[in-house]
């Protein structure tokens, strides 16, 4: 009976899309789904409306209210336009910036966004071509906009696209604006309620001048220009993985003084099909394979990559044996924050009001580094909009010097409010030169951090559960962990449970012993053990996954203990995975 009701509901929704307000291509696609004997695609395309998550609107491209297409994009923009006109009714002119990545349909969707905004009397600054996501954030602030939209699905598979909405501070939208926008979108009863006929007089094309300002601001973050010049010929392999970093990241590296930038020609070709990789994600080893091959060919010291919208950074370093090793997102954040804090101390730049930010699933070693440097550290939810929220709260009071998350995102600046591979890659090269000047390579630098602040090893495990049934399974898994939490992991008892869904702290036997000080609730569970292990569990806000973040502690008294510390930690992580049933 339940399935009959679901099919009836999605059929009624789909039939609306056969109306004259939709183009012929869309109507034909919907009719094909309605006529198909297997109704799975119909159900997946219409069983719900796309909603804003931790990364905005994101979904598979295609016809339907649960898909990314010209109509869901236009409806979201109309809802945002209505909310902007209501919120900023006292302004003579409301302004927005619009950008996009290299994905299939991204330019088309960006132009639709510009048309809908302009049709509503809103001034639009539209980038002339694809740009890194952080540059859109920068443009919102630089141009004094009230909002911004970037069309991107970050590192998702090629079938996906997305819609990131930004507020006037250049950060992705959070409560109450996110839910208010959804409310306005839900008030749109049909596509006839959307103004899609653009006003060209309201659309201004932007490009090179914003590039120059953005790159100049990033150059201002440099802490070691003399060292950069000294080691400017250091061999660096960089790949944009067919994405938006192809021009600006090499330009920024050159601004920093690095002249020996070696590209991967096949991956310099912008393409939404990402033809040379299975997944355009720099945290996946296979995505770095061509860059590693190039590095071996030329003897490069450092390999770096950005994802398709150039907000995430991937990094490969050489170990003591000369082998190339992909470091994880926690290590990237550790290296960059350690460099910024240590170098700032050397230069006498710390005044006592500096702070850093990390997400709750990111390594706790960062906290130890901050404490040793007398720098405040704040924890926040997953997603850079929450790091930006901390920056906004402390603006004019304390000085932000960096923040990041385990998912390969880092932000060194406050003139943009989203993770930024352009500045992160520039500073990573600078950190390598700085380490080299001290007689260390990156592996030795990493070992030095672990000896000083304690060894940690992290692992991320994602269980993919697609579609409606998958979403229901993810709900069931979270419920199971809440009602029957583990008592021990790898032989160490659970001493603390943090549940961000109700902001409670419980002891190992489930008694509430405290409250979490966070601005809102979130569907995240954390388990802490007596030996320092931290396990975080959360459904992804942008992908059909439930994610597990495992961090274990180890002992490392000297660099000679490094290999043993890794092996011991890896074995422990495998035991924990079995204990969790993942």
Which of 147, 173, 206 lies at the terminal end of a domain, its last residue?
A: 206
Read off the pLDDT band of 347 (50, 70, 90).
very high
- pLDDT score recorded for residue 53: 56
* Residues 227, 186 within the same domain: no
CB of 339 closer than 8 Å to CB of 383:
no
- pLDDT score recorded for residue 180: 86
* Residues 265, 168 within the same domain: no
Query: What residue numbers bound the domain in which 14 lies?
Result: 1-45
Summarize pLDDT for 214-247 with one digit per residue, the tens. 999 999 999 999 999 999 999 999 999 999 999 9
* Residues 243, 354 within the same domain: yes
Tell how strand 492-499 and strand 324-326 pair up.
Answer: unpaired
CA distance 494 to 14: 49
Which of 425, 453, 481 lies at the terminal end of a domain, its last residue?
A: 453
CB of 154 closer than 8 Å to CB of 309:
yes
* Residues 233, 365 within the same domain: yes
* Residues 428, 550 within the same domain: no
CA distance 148 to 137: 8
- pLDDT score recorded for residue 1: 38
541, pLDDT greater than 50:
yes
* Residues 85, 128 within the same domain: yes
* Residues 140, 164 within the same domain: yes
The domain total for the chain is 4
116, pLDDT greater than 90:
yes
* Residues 41, 66 within the same domain: no
* Residues 468, 433 within the same domain: no
193, pLDDT greater than 80:
yes
The residue that leads in pLDDT, 472 or 541, is 472
Tell me, letter by letter, the H, E, C secondary structure of 173-232.
CCCCHHHHHHHHHHCCCCHHHCCCCCCHHHEEEECHHHHHHHHHHHHCCCCCHHHHHHCC
CA distance 225 to 505: 46
CA distance 514 to 495: 13
Output the six-digit token pair for 425: 């890659």
Nearest to 105 by CA among 161, 29, 50, 45: 161
Of 75, 154, 224, 344, which residue is the catalytic one? Answer: 154
Question: Which residues make Cβ contacts (< 8 Å) with residue 529, sequence separation at least 6?
Answer: 488, 489, 490, 492, 493, 494, 495
Lowest-pLDDT range, 184-198, 505-519, 563-577?
184-198
Summarize pLDDT for 6-56 with one digit per residue, the tens. 999 999 999 999 998 999 999 999 999 999 999 999 999 999 887 765 456
* Residues 438, 556 within the same domain: no
Which of 422, 453, 484 lies at the terminal end of a domain, its last residue?
A: 453
- In the predicted model, what is the mean pLDDT of the chain? 95
* Residues 172, 246 within the same domain: no
CATH number at residue 529: 3.30.310
Output the six-digit token pair for 434: 């700085």
CA distance 268 to 266: 6
CATH number at residue 180: 3.40.120.10
- pLDDT score recorded for residue 572: 97
* Residues 306, 430 within the same domain: yes
Q: Is 271 an active-site residue?
A: no
Tell how strand 261-263 and strand 302-306 pair up.
Answer: unpaired
Give the residue-averaged pLDDT of 279-305.
96
């Amino acid at each position: 009976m339940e399935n009959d009701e679901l099919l009836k509901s999605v059929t009624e929704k789909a039939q609306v899309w056969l109306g004259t307000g939709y183009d012929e291509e869309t109507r034909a696609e919907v009719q094909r789904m309605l006529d198909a004997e297997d109704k799975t695609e119909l159900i997946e395309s219409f069983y719900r409306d796309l909603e804003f998550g931790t990364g905005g609107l994101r979904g598979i491209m295609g016809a339907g209210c649960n898909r990314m297409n010209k109509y869901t994009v236009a409806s979201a923009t109309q809802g945002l336009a209505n909310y902007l006109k209501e919120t900023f009714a006292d302004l003579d002119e409301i302004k927005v910036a619009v950008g996009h990545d290299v994905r299939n349909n991204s330019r088309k969707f960006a132009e639709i966004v510009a048309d809908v905004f302009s049709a509503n009397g809103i001034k639009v600054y539209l980038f002339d071509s694809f740009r890194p996501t952080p540059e859109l954030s920068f443009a919102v602030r630089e141009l004094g906009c009230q909002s911004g939209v970037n069309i991107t699905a970050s590192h998702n598979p090629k079938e996906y696209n997305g819609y990131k909405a930004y507020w006037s501070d250049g950060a992705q939208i959070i409560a109450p604006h996110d839910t208010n926008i959804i409310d306005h979108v839900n008030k749109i009863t049909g596509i006839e309620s959307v103004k899609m006929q653009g006003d060209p007089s309201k659309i201004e094309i932007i490009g090179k001048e914003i590039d120059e300002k953005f790159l100049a601001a990033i150059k201002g973050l440099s802490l070691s220009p003399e060292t950069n010049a000294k080691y400017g010929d250091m061999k660096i392999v960089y790949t944009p993985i067919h994405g938006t970093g192809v021009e600006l990241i090499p330009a920024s590296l050159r601004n920093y003084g690095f002249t020996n930038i070696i590209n991967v020609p096949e991956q310099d070709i912008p393409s939404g099909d990402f033809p040379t990789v299975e997944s355009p994600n720099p945290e996946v080893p296979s995505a770095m394979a061509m860059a590693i091959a190039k590095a071996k060919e030329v003897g490069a010291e450092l390999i770096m990559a950005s994802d398709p919208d150039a907000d995430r950074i991937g990094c490969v370093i050489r170990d003591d044996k000369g082998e190339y090793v992909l470091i994880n997102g926690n290590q990237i954040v550790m290296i960059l924050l350690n460099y910024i804090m240590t170098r700032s101390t050397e230069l006498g730049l710390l005044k006592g009001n500096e702070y850093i930010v990390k997400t709750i699933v990111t390594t706790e070693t960062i906290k130890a580094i901050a404490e040793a440097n007398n720098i405040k550290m704040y924890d926040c939810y997953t997603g850079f909009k929450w790091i930006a929220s901390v920056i906004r709260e402390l603006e004019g009071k304390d000085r932000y010097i960096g923040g990041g998350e385990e998912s390969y995102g880092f932000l060194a600046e406050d003139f943009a409010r989203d993770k930024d591979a352009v500045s992160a890659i520039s500073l990573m090269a600078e950190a390598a030169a700085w380490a080299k000047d001290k007689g260390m390579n990156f592996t030795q630098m990493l070992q030095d951090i672990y000896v000083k602040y304690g060894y940690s090893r992290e692992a991320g495990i994602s269980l993919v559960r697609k579609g409606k049934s998958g979403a229901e399974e993810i709900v069931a898994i979270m419920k199971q962990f809440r009602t029957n939490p583990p008592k021990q992991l790898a032989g160490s008892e659970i001493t603390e449970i943090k549940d961000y869904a109700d902001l409670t702290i419980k002891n190992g036997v489930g008694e509430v012993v405290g409250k979490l000080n966070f601005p809102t609730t979130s569907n995240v569970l954390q388990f802490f053990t007596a030996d320092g292990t931290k396990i975080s569990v959360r459904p992804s806000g942008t992908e059909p996954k439930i994610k597990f973040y495992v961090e274990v502690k180890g002992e490392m008294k000297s660099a000679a203990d490094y290999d043993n510390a890794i092996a011991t930690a890896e074995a422990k992580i495998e035991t924990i995975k079995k204990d969790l049933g993942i």
